[in-house]
Amino acid sequence: MKKFFSIFGTIILLLVAVALIFNQPIKEYAVKRIAEHNLTTLTAKKAASNAKKKGEFDFNKVKPISATQVAKASVNNDAAVIGKMAVPSVNLRLPIVVGLSDNALSTGGGTMKENEKMGKSNYALAGHYMTNKGALFSPLENAKIGDLAYITDMKRVYTYKIYYKKIVPPTAVYLLDDVENQSILTLITCADGGTNRWALQGSLVKSQPANKNTLAVFS
């Protein structure tokens, strides 16, 4: 019986992968559905539990998002979701996940450093760029200086004001460094077809308890 379910699961995965390979809109739709499911089911308890899980932080293993990657995440998504993020001005709302694994980056924005703490130091997130402006980190291309970005661990909501936006080379890892006495949010995604990176940074302007009103920005 276990063998049957294993074979059945493999067949389903292959069918999903084939559909995604031959239809870019389906792939983008699947990515959005993964994000929406995790956004709507996340609780403070689940976020706290997932925050204890280990992630993968090897930048060299990050590959462009593929149909197979999305198919696996659609069929069996075990990404450790620890919060939510939003940039309302460009209609970006995504889960925040631990690490930079394929599954994590098919789900939302992945933490770029181990043991990052929301609202403290330089909280850095990376996400995939897709051709559809509404998928994953793609909308960040349209964000502007002065826009507000929000993150939450479902206990508190942190508001940042974007002050930096620039295309940088992949070697610009200094943007992940902590800055003394500053609380920063750093968002990284691909630019120029993957040759370079969009880098955005915001400074913390507000920290509030998470409740129905303050969490509304993530809906």
List the one residue out of 140, 146, 60, 143 whose CA is nearest residue 94: 140
E-only strand ranges, 64-155? 81-87, 92-97, 109-111, 122-126, 148-152
State CA 79 to chain mean position distance: 11
Cα dihedral across residues 71, 61, 200, 108: positive or negative: positive
Catalytic residue IDs: 128, 190
Residue spans of beta strands (DSSP E) within the chain: 81-87, 92-97, 109-111, 122-126, 148-152, 156-168, 184-191, 196-209
- The full length of the chain comes to 219
Pairwise CA distance, residues 82 & 48, whole Å: 7
Q: Is 44 helix (H, G, I), strand (E, B) or coil?
A: helix
Residue 119 Rama label (left phi>0; alpha psi -120 to 50; beta): left
